[in-house]
């Protein structure tokens, strides 16, 4: 069986490689969203002078417009690009009855009720 | 007036009943079709996971609808109404929520589930870590947390249905009769009959379609529920913007608005009344103002009555402390000018004994347009910076660890389906959450004084908007969105618990060779029994239930996120690491809730560094998971080869 070989000589599953890279990019994008939204909203929306009206853009408070709505739109554009043009569409494999899986081989009596 | 005219007098109220009936009929119809499909395919995989065959729309809608629970359609609008625009910031991380909660784990989780044939979350854990014991621990935690959740959601479902139907004459008559009928029953008889009736109607519908149709029924009803929710929000959005004259006009009014003031007051008639005079909850009362004030306008937040021969009203709802009655005073002059107070049959006056002002935002015009938003209790406002950071992290992290989401990620058919569905959910959430903020910020202008029952703002606003537009019948479609949201969450929780019992307990540990026929019978029985048990729990809900639900949501995320995420991507991560991550996170999370309870004397968490408990709990879970992994050998090589290598 393949487990006789050291891991270094084996090839990592491409779904794992792609999905791990994508997960890191998504978490980075999340950090960017947070780094934009939280400081912007705090600096422009908190502690505003009570005697001046809040500035608005299309009727939305400008701190919400630039701190939430604009990054929301950009995050959507990024999400669409990421899913449609960047994400690797690897085959995910055939579904196996779990009785056949290596993970379950060592457990006598572990059977399946018929996953197709 | 003719009885039939009374019956159909209020189209807005009756449309709620009609829409609920049509809606329930459609849901049951879907379940019948789904149930027929079950006989043609492998039972457990089909019943609990739809044979991993979800297409784009089904997958996108079931994911979106399950995540958007009753909270999104009742609790969230109530918060927007009460605190204003800052709620857009509170929900801000939903800008990237779908991408994080779907694409960080989705493809890899789906692949591992395929490689191992897993159909439940404990299946994945058990197979990935080659540890049936860890699978059993996961099962136990899921059943405990999900049961608390399920009871709470049933309760919420009943309350929403009650809220929607309470103005319908047929419903009122039925409740009165039902109350007489159940009055003698122990436990049940002490609950309000409306609550019990709605709970039973709601539960029978959900249990019937979930038990009979399984995952496919849940998914297909989710698709319908998702569409209903979106249509409801879009309709309200258009009507609200149109009727308020655009967002800029709304902003001008909001800029002048100040929070209400809460008083404890004596409510008195000028002379003793001849017969009992009731003052219903929500009654408006006006009286002359002092000096520059033209008049003062109040709203009764506690139902009361003046007994025959008496002058002073006493509360008939909540506690009676020396006859004091809670009232809300509107403080914005422009709002006061616009409120038309109908004269009472018996004129009454208020004598204010105590006044409670907002701890943050009192008398500040425009507080609903600014951060951190007004707050009744906290001098730091509704959303101080620490909490804002915490919430930004909270939503995606909670979403990533929810078993309802994880199990859906195991159910799609192709990577292409997954990519398109993620895009669909992004667009769907944008179309729901931003408009919800706008609709209910506008609701502040149309419906003043709703702070006394802000949970009702969604149906009230639906009825108001559609009536103003001369289309009362539309209200039914709009309010259907709210129970669609609860149903779509309840059904998936029900299935999660029954899958944990049948698949992870019975099939794995009790009778691995059980024939399909007996598994099928057991599944139907367990799903029904779990549902009925949750209804019994909801008939007499434990104290602090709402808080238990909130903490259970966080607890689920804390327990599952790190073991699943590291398990999928880090081959060295082993069963000891996963167990340490699971239990370590759980202990820290629970400890912060207990500390909060001891410190504050009420059921709320201790906010370490102003953060929600899930943040420190996840950090500890991650560190313990990594540390403990190196104290034990890696997972068996054959398993690693199968799951991590070509």
Per-residue pLDDT tens digits for B191-239 = 788 888 989 988 888 888 888 888 888 888 888 888 888 888 899 999 9
For every residue of B201-258, DSSP letters joined together read HHHHHHHHHHHHHHHHHHHHHHHHHHHHHHHHHHHHHHHHHHHHT-HHHHHHHHHH--
β-partners of residue B54 are B412
Q: Is the pLDDT of residue A24 over 80?
A: yes
Highest mean pLDDT among A22-31, B119-128, B263-272, B546-555: A22-31
Q: Is pLDDT larger for residue B490 or for residue A1?
A: B490
- Mean pLDDT (whole number) for B497-513: 85
Q: Is pLDDT larger for residue B485 or for residue B30?
A: B30
Pick left, alpha or beta for residue A47 (phi over 0 → left; psi -120 to 50 → alpha; otherwise beta): left
How far does A36 lie from chain B, in Å, by closest CA? 11
Q: Among B45, B88, B645, whose Cβ lies nearest the Cβ of A115? A: B45
Confidence of residue A86 (pLDDT cuts 50, 70, 90): very high
Does A6 reside within a domain? no
Decide the pairing of beta strands B325-329 and B284-288. unpaired
Q: Is the pLDDT of residue B615 over 50?
A: yes
* Predicted pLDDT of residue B331: 93
- Mean pLDDT (whole number) for B42-55: 76
Confidence of residue B12 (pLDDT cuts 50, 70, 90): low
Does A1 reside within a domain? no
- Mean pLDDT (whole number) for B82-105: 96
β-partners of residue B417 are none
- Cβ neighbours around B579 below 10 Å, total: 21
- Mean pLDDT (whole number) for B378-396: 90
Q: Is the pLDDT of residue B49 over 80?
A: no
Mean pLDDT of chain B: 87
Work out the percent of chain B whose per-residue pLDDT is above 70. Answer: 94
Is-contact B105 B99, C-beta < 8 A?
no
Is-contact B132 B636, C-beta < 8 A?
no
How far does B34 lie from chain A, in Å, by closest CA? 17
3-state secondary structure of B356: strand
CA nearest B214: which of B407, B49, B405? B49
- Mean pLDDT (whole number) for B623-633: 97
Does A59 reside within a domain? yes
Q: Is the pLDDT of residue B91 over 60?
A: yes
Q: Is pLDDT larger for residue B171 or for residue B82?
A: B82
Q: Worst-scoring range by mean pLDDT, A38-47, B107-116, B218-227, B401-410?
A: B218-227
Task: Tell me the C-alpha distance between B58 and B226, whole Å.
Answer: 10
Is-contact B302 B263, C-beta < 8 A?
no
Task: Tell me the C-alpha distance between B26 and B145, whole Å.
Answer: 30
Q: Is the pLDDT of residue A112 over 50?
A: no
Residues of A in contact with B242 (CB under 8 A): none
- Mean pLDDT (whole number) for B374-401: 90
Backbone angles phi and psi of B297, in degrees to 5 = -120, 130
Residues of A in contact with B100 (CB under 8 A): 26-27, 30
> How many A×B Cβ pairs under 8 Å?
272
Q: Among B44, B104, B115, whose Cβ lies nearest the Cβ of A114? A: B44
Q: Is the pLDDT of residue B290 over 60?
A: yes
Highest mean pLDDT among B185-189, B292-296, B578-582, B607-611: B578-582
Does A2 reside within a domain? no
Residues of A in contact with B127 (CB under 8 A): 98, 101, 103-104
Q: Worst-scoring range by mean pLDDT, B107-121, B379-393, B466-480, B559-573?
A: B466-480
Does A95 reside within a domain? yes
Number of domains in chain A: 1
- Mean pLDDT (whole number) for B69-78: 77
How far does A51 lie from chain B, in Å, by closest CA? 9
Give the range of the structural domain holding residue A82, as residue numbers without chain letter: 12-105
Helices (H) and strands (E) in chain B, counts: 25, 8
* Predicted pLDDT of residue A94: 79
How far does A40 lie from chain B, in Å, by closest CA? 10
Is-contact B427 B56, C-beta < 8 A?
no
Q: Is the pLDDT of residue B582 over 90?
A: yes
Does A60 reside within a domain? yes
CA nearest B325: which of B310, B306, B308? B306
Q: Is the pLDDT of residue A2 over 50?
A: no
Among chain A residues, CA nearest to B509: A110
Helices (H) and strands (E) in chain A, counts: 4, 2
Residues of A in contact with B117 (CB under 8 A): 95-101, 104, 112, 115
Does A4 reside within a domain? no
Residues of A in contact with B526 (CB under 8 A): none
* Predicted pLDDT of residue B11: 53
Torsion angle, CA of B129/B632/A20/B45, rounded to 10 degrees? 0
* Predicted pLDDT of residue B3: 40
């Amino acid at each position: 069986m393949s487990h006789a070989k050291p891991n270094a000589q084996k090839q990592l599953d491409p779904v794992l490689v792609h999905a791990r890279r994508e997960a890191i990019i998504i978490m980075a994008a999340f950090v960017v969203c947070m780094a934009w939204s939280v400081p912007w909203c705090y600096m422009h929306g908190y502690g505003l002078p009570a005697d001046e009206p809040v500035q608005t853009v299309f009727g939305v408070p400008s701190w919400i417009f630039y701190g939430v709505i604009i990054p929301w739109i950009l995050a959507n554009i990024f999400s669409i690009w990421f899913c449609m043009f960047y994400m690797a569409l690897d085959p995910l494999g055939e579904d196996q009855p779990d009785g056949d899986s290596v993970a379950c081989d060592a457990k006598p009596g572990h059977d399946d009720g018929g996953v197709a | 007036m003719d009885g039939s005219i009374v019956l159909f007098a209020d189209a807005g109220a009756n449309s709620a009943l009609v829409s609920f009936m049509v809606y329930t009929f459609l849901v049951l119809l879907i379940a019948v079709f789904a149930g027929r499909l079950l006989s043609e395919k492998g039972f457990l995989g089909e019943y609990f996971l739809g044979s991993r065959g979800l297409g784009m729309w089904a997958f996108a809608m079931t994911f979106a609808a399950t995540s958007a629970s009753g909270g999104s359609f009742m609790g969230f609008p109530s918060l927007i109404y009460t605190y204003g625009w800052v709620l857009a910031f509170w929900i801000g991380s939903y800008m990237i929520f779908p991408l994080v909660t779907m694409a960080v784990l989705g493809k890899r989780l789906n692949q591992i589930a395929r490689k191992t044939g897993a159909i439940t979350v404990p299946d994945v854990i058990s197979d990935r870590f080659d540890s049936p014991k860890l699978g059993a621990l996961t099962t136990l935690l899921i059943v405990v947390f999900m049961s608390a959740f399920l009871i709470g959601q049933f309760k919420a479902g009943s309350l929403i249905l009650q809220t929607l139907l309470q103005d319908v004459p047929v419903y009122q008559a039925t409740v009165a009769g039902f109350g007489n009928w159940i009055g003698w029953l122990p436990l049940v008889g002490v609950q309000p009959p409306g609550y019990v009736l709605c709970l039973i109607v709601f539960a029978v519908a959900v249990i019937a379609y979930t038990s009979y149709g399984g995952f496919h029924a849940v998914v297909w009803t989710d698709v319908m529920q998702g569409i209903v929710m979106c249509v409801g929000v879009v309709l309200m959005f258009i009507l609200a913007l149109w009727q308020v004259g655009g967002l800029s006009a709304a902003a001008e009014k909001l800029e002048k608005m100040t929070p209400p003031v809460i008083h404890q007051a004596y409510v008195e008639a000028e002379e003793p009344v001849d017969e009992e005079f009731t003052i219903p909850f929500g009654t408006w009362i006006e009286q002359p103002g002092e000096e520059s004030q033209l008049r003062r306008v109040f709203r009764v937040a506690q139902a009361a009555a003046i007994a025959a021969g008496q002058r002073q009203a006493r509360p008939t709802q909540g506690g009676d402390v020396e006859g004091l009655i809670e009232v809300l005073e509107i403080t914005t002059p422009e709002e006061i000018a616009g409120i038309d107070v109908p004269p009472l049959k018996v004129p009454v006056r208020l004598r204010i004994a105590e006044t409670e002002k907002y701890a943050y935002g009192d008398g500040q015009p425009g507080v609903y347009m600014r951060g951190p938003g007004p707050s009744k209790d906290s001098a730091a406002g509704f959303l101080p910076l620490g909490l804002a950071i915490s919430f930004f992290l909270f939503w995606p992290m909670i979403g990533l660890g929810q078993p309802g989401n994880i199990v859906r990620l195991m159910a799609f058919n192709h990577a292409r389906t997954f990519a398109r569905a993620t895009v669909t959910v992004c667009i769907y959430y944008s179309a729901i959450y931003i408009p919800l903020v706008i609709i209910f910020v506008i609701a502040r202008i149309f419906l003043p004084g709703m702070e006394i029952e802000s949970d009702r703002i969604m149906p009230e606003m639906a009825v108001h908007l559609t009536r103003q537009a001369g289309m009362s019948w539309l209200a039914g479609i709009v309010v259907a969105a709210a129970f669609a949201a609860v149903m779509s969450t309840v059904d998936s929780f029900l299935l999660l618990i029954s899958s944990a019992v049948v698949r992870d307990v019975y099939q794995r540990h009790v009778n691995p060779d059980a024939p399909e026929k007996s598994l099928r019978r057991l599944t139907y029985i367990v799903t029904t029994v779990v549902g009925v048990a949750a209804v019994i729990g909801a008939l007499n809900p434990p104290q602090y239930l709402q808080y238990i639900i909130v903490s259970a949501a966080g607890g689920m995320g804390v327990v599952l996120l790190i073991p699943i995420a590291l398990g999928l991507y880090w081959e060295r991560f082993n069963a000891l690491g996963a167990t340490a991550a699971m239990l370590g996170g759980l202990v820290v999370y629970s400890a912060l809730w207990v500390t909060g309870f001891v410190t504050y004397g009420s059921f709320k968490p201790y906010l370490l560094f102003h953060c929600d408990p899930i943040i420190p709990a996840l950090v500890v879970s991650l560190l313990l998971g990594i540390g403990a992994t190196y104290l034990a050998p890696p997972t068996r090589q054959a398993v690693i080869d199968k799951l991590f290598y070509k």
